[in-house]
Structure 1
Amino acid sequence: MYLKNLTLRGFKSFASATTLRFEPGITCVVGPNGSGKSNVVDALSWVMGEQGAKSLRGGKMEDVIFAGTSTRQALGRAEVSLTIDNNDGALPIDYTEVTIKRTMFRNGGSEYAINGDTCRLLDIQDLLSDSGIGREMHVIVGQGQLDTVLHAGPEERRALIEEAAGILKHRKRKEKAIRKLNAMQGNLDRVTDLTAELRRQLKPLGRQAELARRAAVIQADLRDARLRLLADDIVTLTDQLAKEEADEKEVLTRRGAAETALNQAQEREAELEERATAAAPALARASETYHALSRLTERLDAVRGLATERHQNLVAVQGEVVQRRDPEELEMEAEEAAAQEEELQTRLEEAREVLETSVTERSAAEDALHREERRLEAASRAAAERREGIVRLAARVEGLRGRLTSNEAEITRLEEAAQQAAERAATAQSEYEMAAEEAAGLDEGDAELDDTQERFARQLSAVDAELNQLRDTERSAEGERAALAARKEALELGLAHKDGAGTLLEAGLPGMLGSLAALVQVEPGHETAVAAAFGVAAGAVAVSDEASAAAALELLKSEDAGRAGIVVARAVPSADRASWPSLPGGVRYAADAVTAPEHLSDAVAALLDRVALAADTQEARDLVSALPQVRAVTPDGDVFAAAMVHGGTAAAPSLLEVQAAVDEAAESLEAATEAAKRVAVELEEKKRERAEIAEAAEEVTARRRQGDRRRNESAQRLGKLGGQARSAEAESERYAAAAAKAAASRGEDAQKLERLEEELAEAEEISAAVEEEAPDADHRDELSALASRARATEMERRLAVRTAEERARSIAGRADALLAQAAEERRAVEREAERRRNRAAQATVAQAVVESARLSLERIAVSLATAETERVAAEAEREARDGELKTVRARVRELSVELEKLTSSAHSGEVARAERRMRLEQLETKALEELGVDVPTLIAEYGPRVPVPPATDADEDAVPLPYVREVQAKRLKVAERQLNQLGKINPLALEEFAALEERHAFLNAQLEDLKKTRRDLMDIVAEVDARVQEVFSSAYLDVEREFAAIFGRLFPGGEGRLVLTAPEDMLTTGIEVEARPPGKKVKRLSLLSGGERSLTAVAFLAAIFKARPSPFYVMDEVEAALDDTNLQRLLVIFEELRESSQLIVITHQKRTMEAADALYGVTMQGDGISQVISQKLDRPA
């Protein structure tokens, strides 16, 4: 096995497709620094699966894509293909030649392929690792990797030997087993927890199941006792109802007599009430007059009292005297306050004048200080500006000097670049003209392809429209078919008998013909009418003879399957249709609308004897009135007969109606199914037609795409070449213009430099002269002290003004207030005199009111005595009348109470009977709904006259006992108590316990499987450890032997050996390197020279290579630090390695090149793109 070809396209500096063909032996790759030699090593590492950007000497993985140059645009992807000769079968794949390809796109996506088939990175790594190459790429020794080996730790050196020995796959196997163990441990824990949880649940659930079994037995006894007590209640209520209805007539007779006496008493009561009503107004007037005079007396007496009290209060107030201040005294105080206020205002004006003088002095002092400070600040700023200007001039001078120097170099570079760009432009233009000639003939035949493609597109569009229409039709037909099928199924469910008829049909007794509804056919539209005419027979079953009917009834009774109607198809005399009355026009008999099998025709005719089909209710009524012997049925199912009418709102559809609907739905479903099949056939034919057209169109499209691809490639190439020519030409012009501009700028900069140097010298002289005179600050200090004193004086005088203002403000307005108070006192005296005059007048009026009230009270007392006499007489007459009325009303009440009792008794009896009837209905409903037994069956099987069978746990010879209610009630209570003692019963416990037992057994089996798998994985880990220890021990001994031998050859007279850091643990031990060159006693690598350390690292790698050889090795300048002597020794080692492995060496050493079988030279022109040339060498025999 050896590397055969390496193709790079867009990888780092290899922009164009570049192929290197290798041969067995030693191949050297040479070239100047920076030409891209190491990129070949990076490409080999990258295509074999390297994932570290730093290992590829980049910052991120996208850096491997060609980034572009000044003459070539950046590419969108990098692609490397490596072909390996596999004639010896070293790679575990059935190919003698294997090509591995890796592609990286600018957006970060990657693709991998083996022999053109897309694969994963893991597939490539697994393929190479099985051949001894390893995932860590120990076969590639890149730049700086020797230093990595030198600084590697013991464990890292061990990893190099493990990879060469192929131990990595064993460790991967161990890691995979450990990962499975870790994942399995979670499952094992979960299954263990689940098993324990189920085990905990089994015991209580088992107890619940046992309770459920016991509860079932108790519930059976409970049901039996409840049924017997319920039957007893129903029988008792029925007997009580019969007795109470017999006593109802006596109560009604007594109530009639009481009603007559009550009517007479009520008439007398009405007469007395009428007389009382007539006398009531006179009594009311007398009482009203008496009360009105009494109220008037009270009001006059109150007015007299108020007037007397008012007169006394007014007389008392006239003698009171009010104390007030003298108005003249207040006016004298006001004059004194005005004099004080005037004096304070005079002092305030004097203080303000002094303050104004202080403000003026302070302002003048501060102005002088500010002028002096501005003068000093201006002098300081001018000095700073001068110094800053000198610094700026000096910086500009230095900048111009540097720019003149760089301009010279830039002009030279631009002239050379302009010449190179002109050469590239000429080359690109020549290539562009050649490519344009090649692209001229690519457009032939496009018009014909366009017409063909357009024709196919129109055909496809038309076929697609037809397909969509057919799909819509198919969906519609399928939807209709599904709806009809669902309707048919739903209707068929309605045919299932849920009573005794269903049991008979399922039993399949001899002579059973089937459901009557399924055996007869009814004309459409008459189903409901015929079903009503049949009555209960519409849901009946048909049997062949009476014996079959008797057997069916015995089956229903024995299985307690309920009731059923049975039609016997025996030979009966046919009804004489001639005896049937003639029907009016448009009306016919129901028998004419029914078709029945021959053996059922007589029975159907008997069931529909003289039954006519009426169009509506009115027609049915008219028909029965005219022909009483005829029954009439309407389309709604109402039945009219001479003595009976049956009907009402629509009930559930009869079996006859449902059967007719099923037949109709079946016919519609069959038609819809056939229609759907036809549409499906048309759809398949149209799909085949479209596929043929699409295939032909795709062929034309492929030809068109191929032509477009060729044109696009040609256009891209033309555009690229034209762009390169234009770019190179424009670049040459830009470089030339830039060179001319740089030359002009150089002359201007020289003139500016001379002028600026003169300005700098003049500025330095001026600055030195001015800085000798420093500004004096003593005068500013004097002015500052003067301003401070002026501000202090101003503050003192401002405080004096504030004090004077406060004193003047406190006394201001006092004089005005005193004058206002004096005026108010004079007005108050005048108001008091006016009030005294008013009170005297009011006292005179009050005395007159007192006298007038006394006279009025004397006259009213006489009238009040007369009114009292009249009122007493009227009340006496009323009391006599009320006595008689009271007696009559008492009689009315007595009779009313008696009548009410009798009515209540009758009503109570009626209510009691209604309640008993309702109770009876409730008991019947309870028996049917809760216990599933109808009343006749309940009385017949559980009634009080039916003996009670022995208990389930009684002896075999026990006999039935007579019914005793107390015993059954006790039995019910015992059963309820036992059921309550059991507590809450889980009715699903039996099923849940069985399911839980089954799940527990399943989980136990799963747990054992997991434990066995865990033991197997532990065995695998132990086996892998033993294999790793065996392989590593063997590899280490071989590497140790080879290292000692190679070190002795590279360092004649020296000694080198490998030492295990933990010999007792061959699974984790590290490896130390001891190297002692000849003539030295040191063994530590860090104390060796650079060349000795590099040679030691090479010896360690060569020992690994020889002990466990790989098909090839790639080394990048590993001998760069060696002298000729050591290089010659290393080349001897290379010669030995080439016998078993292919060597690819990146080198600058001539001696190494001489030892090569083939040379590849890598160069890079000014465009920044690497190119390769090869030379095969003839080695001496």
Structure 2
Amino acid sequence: MHLKTLTLKGFKSFASSTTLHLEPGVTCVVGPNGSGKSNVVDALAWVMGEQGAKSLRGGKMEDVIFSGTTGRAPLGRAEVSVTIDNSDGKLPIDYAEVTISRTLFRNGGSEYAINGETARLLDVQELLSDSGIGREMHVIVGQNRLTAILEATPEDRRGIIEEAAGVLKHRKRKEKALRKLDAMQANLVRLQDLTNELRRQLKPLGRQAEVARRAVVIQSDVRDARLRLMADDLAQMREALAAEVADETALRDRQAQVDSLLVGLRSQEAEAEAAVELDAPRVANAQNTWFALSGLRERFNGLVQVGAERTRHLQPEPEEESSGRDPEQIEAEARVLREQEFELGREVEVAREALAAAEGARHAAEQAAALEERRIAEAERAAADRREGLARVTGQVNAARSRLEARCNEIDRLQASVAEAKQRGDAAQAEFQAIEVQVAGLDEGELGLDDEYEQAVGLLEQADAGVEELRTAESVHERERGALSARLEALGLGLSRKDAAAVLVSAGEQVPGVLGSLASLLHIEPGAQAAVAAALGDIADAVVVRGVDAAVSSLVLLKDQDAGRAALVIADLPGTGLAGATGLPLESGASVAGGRWLRETVRCDDEVGPMVDRLLSRCVLVRELSDVARA
């Protein structure tokens, strides 16, 4: 597995799309300061999921987007794609090439893609963690990174080593599995509590269900009774409505009769008024005649009084008074008076006859007027009666209409009440069925809870088995981590120490007989590095020289260059090594119970073979601590 291409667009100083083609082996990027060499390394770290802006030599993540120059405007996003050759199948994906892309927008949005398909950061990290490339980015050593790694705490070194060995992924999975187990355990406890609570509530719920059944039956009876009463009321109201309608019809017929009778009376009233108008002249004549007769009667009375006076004057006076008048004159006056009396009597008779006729006419006129007045009064009373009857009939009609509207409203209300009662009945039936279903569900729920509990127990057992497997894998990885830790510590000690050994190795031409560091001359089987490092101790960093003269020359060189101290091992010195690793030489063909000779795991040149035999002659490699006694 190796990087094939790296494409940068809008990332830091790479405004235009730039593609770097990388071949297997070592690729060097050279250029003057500020040309963007470190940006290439930052792009690699960024596309593989780096989330720290400070790790990318910036204050915030948006700083990786091209910010523009005097001749070019800023860009709105940064995009980096890296293509990895996966022909050896180290990445757990069925592709010979894997392209990972990351895009960051200036508004803060970020996108990841694997082979063009949208992915999550977790997907990218999971994919790379299987190959030893993780979030810690130990494979990328940037500026000032080497010192941070060398001066890291044991915990930080452990994280780097675990990530390099692929253990960190399993640790994260283990932690995730433990969290799931804790959640499952909490769910099981809660499920047990719910089961106990439901079992405790089953009996009250059963009693409540029975009460609900009885309540539904009672409500059904009450609903039926109410519906029957409403039906009876509705029938009575319909009968009353029919009666009111019949009464209204009869009143309408009577109103029609009254209207026709009123029309006739009004015509009679008109005729009477016409007759009165016709009799008005006659009444006026009768009145005039009455007035004339009254004048004649007054005149007659006056004449009677005059006649009486004259009669009184015509009576013979005493002789003493009449002795002076002429008898003939008096006779003549008497005849005149008698004639006048006769004329007056005749006039009186005529006047009496005329008065009688006038009185008869007046009486007839009065009777006719009274008759007409009675007829008019009767017509007026009849008209008033007809108007009163019409008003009464109109009131009865309006009252009947009001009662009809009230009955219609009552019928609508009763129909709405019937519909509402029906809805309440349906709702009560549905509620009853829901309660029955709930009760049945509670009855079945207990069995379902038991099944769920059994399933949860099975899942817990599976999780326990998974935890055991993870623990086994963890022990394996712990052993591998120990080996890598030992090697890293050995390398760290070599790097942290003042490089006197490196001075001797690099000065091999000046000092003949310097073969190199002991660690570089040994080829150790995988898995035995930690044991060999422990057996050699500090001698692992010693420089191997050929002979005492070479050792003396090396010490002189170190003193002249003030290069510090260095451990030396003389390859061809018989007897004891410099580190005091004394012992008997390895017996050829001898076997060890429960293990093997540590020397058998080391391969080296024949020139340093005797020295390695002496150093490892008493060391045995065993698998378990319990095998030490048998070895």
Do the structures match in fold with TM over 0.5? Answer: no
| TM-score for the superposition, normalised by structure 2 | 0.44
